Amino acid sequence: MDADRFEVLVQHSYDAIVLTDASNAIVYATPAVRQMFGFEPEALIGRNGFSFVHRTDRGGAVERARGLLARPDGTTRAEMRVRHADGSYRWCECTSVNLLDHAGVGAVVNSFRDITDRKAAEELAARAESRLQALLEHADGVILLADRDGYVTWASPGAERLWGWSADTLLSRQMIAAVHPDDQREIIRQYRKMASAQRLTVRVDGRMRHGDGTWRWYESVFTNCLDDPAVGGVIANVRDITDRVLADQALRNSEAQLEHQATHDALTRLPNRTLLHDRLDTALARARRTGTTVAVVLVGVDHFQVVNEGRGHAFGDATLRAVAERLATHARSGDTLARFGGDQFVIVADDLRDEREAMDLADAVVRAFDHPLSVRTEADPDPAELFLAVSVGVAVDRGHDAEPGELLRDADGALATAKSRGGGRSVQFVAGAREMARERLHLETELRRAILRHQFQVHYQPVVDLRTGAVASVEALVRWQHPQRGMLLPGSFIDVAEETGLIIPLGAWVFDASCRQLVELHDVLGGQRAPLSVGINLSARQLAEDGLIDDIGNVLAATPIHPGHVCVEVTESAVMRDPSATADRLAELRVFGLRVAIDDFGTGQASFSYLRDLPVDVLKIDQSFVQPMEQDPQAADLVAGIVGLGHTLGLEVVAEGVETDGQLQLLRDLGCDRAQGFLFSTAVAPRAVVDLLRSRPTW
């Protein structure tokens, strides 16, 4: 782990970490001491650590410190009271490690964890147990005398107080008649055992009916004195232990609840990281014994931040619960499904035959999200359909020597690779995956720097009117002028920008630059031609951004451009992530007078009903349908269907990716309105757009 990441982890640790020298003087303290003890970390530097320890605990602390100093790399752990800034004392669990000889540390590392609440709970439980024991020890029980068959021949006067039955009522009654049916078998077994030998004593607990009709717990101690002439029967000492039994049950329930809370995620109720590591460790140990394979399947929800930002955190939490439920139906019965944190989940699959079985599971997880999730929130109990995709990273323990942390790290690297390839897929960790993760981090750093240093340009690809053959509009496409790698196309950096949120400032810059450059193009061309329109792409994350409308409004207000000459383009897949919310946002954009296009149409899951309700003006047919038209009649039929659908809805239809004259002629024959592609021009700089338009080309 590099120093910067370690520093971040230390700075955000919930435990207070204090470094001391050999004389126990404080040389460093993490920010957590402020929350735990009320002191500013800087104010503690140079002070003796023992001065903050309660005087009752100080002697032991000094003694442990002396012993620790004699043991380089030694560790001690103790509970002690430490003074708070307000004068009170907090109980802490202190773990000290002697790293004085460690070149990178040179101090004793003292980690403090606040256990005040736990100690208070223990003290409260101890007091409750003490009171209960006192009551039980001083309570008057009942002494009964019974014959071999359990019929009562004598009862002490306390019977009515204990049982609600008078001593006279109990006489000649068989004790087993008052016992709860579920406890009778055990009490009869113990009673017969006791009756088999003189002076044998047995103890048995069970429920018996009280005089008021309720069932109460009683402890019965039977002693065989049948052959004793002075007794001539079985002595039974009976006392009411109902309170103790209920207290024990409550304590067990409380312990079980606390243990569950400590090892399970509060939102999804799945095992959390703590339990995950334990289960994974157990699975690896079992695999070493049996020779089977263990796989860590790390699942990440693609673009989950768009859900949180677009629909709010309550809806996001409900979505995570729905994801957990979907994953639970596809994990094998013996697998561990846990929440890893944020939008990530882990399936620990053991007892696998080979790696292929692990990848089959991962692929099944990806396919499980081909169907929409049904998401319910407390505020809106009516289910909302939500299409989500997941990426999956898989790490397999091949040599049975991996550690849990190593497998989880490798799975995370594979997950990053899956996301970098567009998401919605599974990837198995390979040796180079870690290097790819480092490269991605490096790319993110460069991307942030590029935005600050204005290294981006906007190029424009012409869109041709198929009726006139003239250029009617242009599509704005961002380019990165990298100082070392030269001109980079969007495919090499847009995914990272989307995942990191950098698409927000980058997209805002592209919109502003495109509008300003379109005005400049109009000024340069003057009255030589009709005004151009420009298509500007908006990502799903931009659509979900609260400030989008204000940003676009500010650009339009500051730019002398007619809004009707600007068309915002949104991919079909982005629309279908949340059609209702997207429709509302597109309607807000149209209020400005902007036109709206659905890009890459045909690759998503939009239906006629969705298109009919969406506020759009243009359909752009994805190039994957256009390019095979000459060789594949079915592709041509699909394009014809999309053109007909668009015209039925009153939409303008644009074909993307046109590269041959044959494709162009087919599109004209089908009545397509416009087209763009390499047949006409690649995306070029604004100056080249001017030269192209001045040459007045027609196709």
Determine how many CB atoms are found less than 10 A away from the CB of residue 77.
11
3-state secondary structure string across 594-638: CEEEEEEECCCCCCHHHHHHCCCCEEEECHHHHCCCCCCHHHHHH
Q: Are 444 and 496 in contact (CB under 8 A)?
A: yes
Return the pLDDT at 139: 46
Burial of 664 (0-12, 13-18, 19+ CB in 10 A): buried
What does the chain come to in residues?
699
> Which pLDDT score, from 0 to 100, does residue 76 have?
95
Q: What is the pLDDT of residue 155?
A: 83
pLDDT value of residue 138: 45
pLDDT at 230: 80
Residues 286, 130: Cα–Cα separation, whole Å: 43
269-430 is a CATH 3.10.290.10 domain: no
Domain 3-114, CATH: 3.30.450.20
Q: Residue 399 has what pLDDT?
A: 61
- Confidence at residue 130, expressed as pLDDT on a 0 to 100 scale: 76
Domain locations along the chain: 3-114, 139-246, 269-430, 445-691
Helix (H) / strand (E) element for 672: namely none
Q: Confirm whether 269-430 and 445-691 share one CATH topology.
A: no
Which residue's entry shows tokens 């003074």? 83
Q: Give pLDDT, residue 136.
A: 40
pLDDT at 526: 75
Residues 18, 130: Cα–Cα separation, whole Å = 38
* Structure tokens, 288: 């070493």
pLDDT (0 to 100) of residue 7 = 62
pLDDT tens sequence across 475-510: 999 999 999 999 999 989 998 998 889 999 999 999
Q: Which pLDDT does position 607 carry in this prediction?
A: 59
Contact 203, 219 (CB under 8 A): yes
| 349 vs 369: CA distance, rounded Å | 20
Say if residues 564 and 617 touch (Cβ distance below 8 Å).
Answer: no
Give the model's pLDDT for residue 476.
97
Beta bridge partners, 203, equal 221
CA atoms within 13 A on the CB side of 216: 19
- Alpha-carbon distances of 350 from 242, 331, 343, 395, 449, rounded to whole Å: 45, 11, 23, 12, 44
User: Across the 699 residues of the chain, what is the mean pLDDT of every consecutive 10-residue run?
Assistant: 55 84 94 92 93 94 94 94 95 95 90 93 86 50 85 82 80 86 90 88 90 88 88 87 85 74 85 88 87 90 87 89 91 88 91 87 92 85 86 83 83 88 88 67 91 95 95 96 93 90 94 94 76 92 91 93 94 84 92 94 69 90 94 92 93 96 96 96 93 86
CATH code, residues 139-246 = 3.30.450.20
Query: For residues 512 and 255, what is the distance between their CA atoms, to the nearest angstrom?
Result: 60
Q: Residue 6's Cα: distance from chain center in Å?
A: 22
- Per-residue confidence (pLDDT) for residue 653, from 0 to 100: 97
The two tokens of residue 88 are: 């009170």
Class level of CATH domain 445-691: alpha beta
> What is residue 26's predicted lDDT score, i.e. its pLDDT?
95
521-529: which pairs have CB atoms within 8 A and are 24 or more residues apart?
Answer: 521/686, 521/689, 521/690, 521/693, 524/690, 525/690, 525/693, 525/694, 528/693, 528/694, 529/470, 529/693, 529/696
Reported as a single tens digit per residue, the pLDDT across 230-270 is: 888 898 888 888 888 888 888 787 776 777 677 888 889 89
Rounded to whole angstroms, the Cα distance separating 170 from 150 reads: 12
